[in-house]
Structure 1
Amino acid sequence: MSIAAAVLLAAPAFAETPEALVARGAYLARIMDCAGCHMPRGPGGAPDPAGGLSGGTIGFQMPGVGIFWPPNLTPDPTGLGGWSEAEIIAALTTGLRPDGRVLAPIMPWPSYAAMSEADQKALAAFLRAMPPVARQTPQIVASAAEAQAPFYAVTLP
């Protein structure tokens, strides 16, 4: 076998570098609009890119759920810092957190469950590679009187 043929046969094994995996994950996070919910907002309501995906500062009120705010997705301990790749992928594809809690219905995990295994790993790699941002997500509350941050009310017919 020639050296060129050997290089071509071996190329797929080296094609998925850690950098390429993270870049693919960043692309997926953009087209999946993770920032639409998980990026903090500035005083005028515009997204604050400096906050990364450190958690939404505008919550959602849903009947039967309460008022909740999108969590911190950075690898800080206040976010996904203690989660393994497998736990991140399980949450994205089954809607279950490592602690057994079900993700809020607004999280489109049923759609994400259709991602390929390679894309699941890429998105998890990106989330784990982001700079950690310490930002505690407000606790779920039952009423507007208890809310400590702004929120949208989602009504169901």
Structure 2
Amino acid sequence: MVNNRFILSTIAAITVASAASAAEKPKPAPAPAPAPAPALASGKASPSAEKVDPELVRRGAYLVATGGCNDCHTPMKFDEKLGMPVPDMSRALSGHPSGAPEATGTVGERDMALIGPTFTSFKLPFGTVYSANITSDPKTGIGGWSEQMFISAMRTGRSLGAAGNRPILPPMPWTTVAQFTDEDLKAIFAFLKSTKPIVNAIPAPKVPDPVVKQLAKANDEIAKSFSKPKVTPAAAQGR
């Protein structure tokens, strides 16, 4: 799911930084160290996993499906019979496949991005970014994240939800996801934690450091402008 208005606003916010770094060779932004996976006792599920409400997982599955998460986080493959790309559900939500080809060519003056053949790599005017692995794999996905980390990341636009971490980069529409209620974000996280863990290390984004810093400032300013969504009694009854 690509939020065009968000892409335009962030591109505008980094225009100065992009111009200043045009002569520099883009360097990959440092990838944050993965959070440690929760310890499991004797191969048993963690206490938190045992307490997950199946209804919460079902609602999360609904929100992920209707929210367009698969559009970017599930790789596409070409279907010879249909003659068109289709989602590769054997790698659902695992992000940009390791070693997959990237978008090639030059981003035009009026273009927002060039998209790679798996629809998981995006060559933007200021660099190339890749869709994240959001399966339950503890090392290359979000299996090591806590619920609070996930909610904070979606509210602040920062990786792992921690101040000082790399900003979440376009085209991820975190500004839209930030409008979800805590209940919805908890449901989404519960579903993602229930998915099949797929080992797939995502490459670091190829975005110049000055642009990353400018985007971080932009994300921080956007996050400050948000008010925490609340569930009204009427909305709660309608679920």
Corresponding letter in the other structure for 1:85: E
Structure 1 residue 142: Cα displacement: 5.3
Matched, 1:20 2:55: yes
Q: Which residue of 2 aligns with 1:75?
A: 136
Query: For the aligned residues, what is the CA RMSD?
Result: 1.9
Matched AA of 1:135: N
Q: CA deviation at 1:139?
A: 2.4
Q: Which ranges of structure 2 fall in alignment gaps of 5 or more residues? A: 1-51, 80-84, 97-117, 209-239
Structure 2 CA distance, aligned partners of 1:74 and 1:27?
Answer: 16
- The CA distance in 2 between the partners of 1:122 and 1:18, in whole Å, is 9
Aligned mate of 1:29, from 50, 64, 74 = 64
Which digits, 9 at most, give the CA deviation of each residue in 1:110-156, with x for residues without a partner? 1111111110110111111111011111222359xxxxxxxxxxxxx
| 1:112 corresponds to which of 177, 180, 193 | 177
Give the secondary structure class of the aligned counterpart of 1:61.
Answer: strand
1:120 and 1:142, CA in 2 relative to 1: closer, same or farther beyond 3 A?
Answer: closer
| SS of the residue 1:60 aligns to | strand
Separation in 2 of the partners of 1:122 and 1:109?
16
* Identity across the alignment (%): 38
1:3 matched residue in structure 2: none
Counterpart secondary structure, 2:135: coil
Name the residue aligned to 2:47: none
- Of 38, 45, 58 in structure 1, the residue corresponding to residue 73 of structure 2 is 38
Q: Deviation above 4 Å: which 4+ runs of structure 1? A: none
Structure 1 residue ranges without an equivalent (≥5): 1-16, 144-157
Between Structure 1 and Structure 2, how many residues are aligned? 126
2:159 is the alignment partner of 1:97: yes
Structure 2: how far apart are the matches of 1:138 and 1:81?
18
1:55 equivalent in structure 2? 95
- Correspondent of 1:130 among 195, 214, 217: 195
TM-score (norm 2): 0.49
The one-letter code sitting in structure 1 at the alignment partner of 2:152 is A
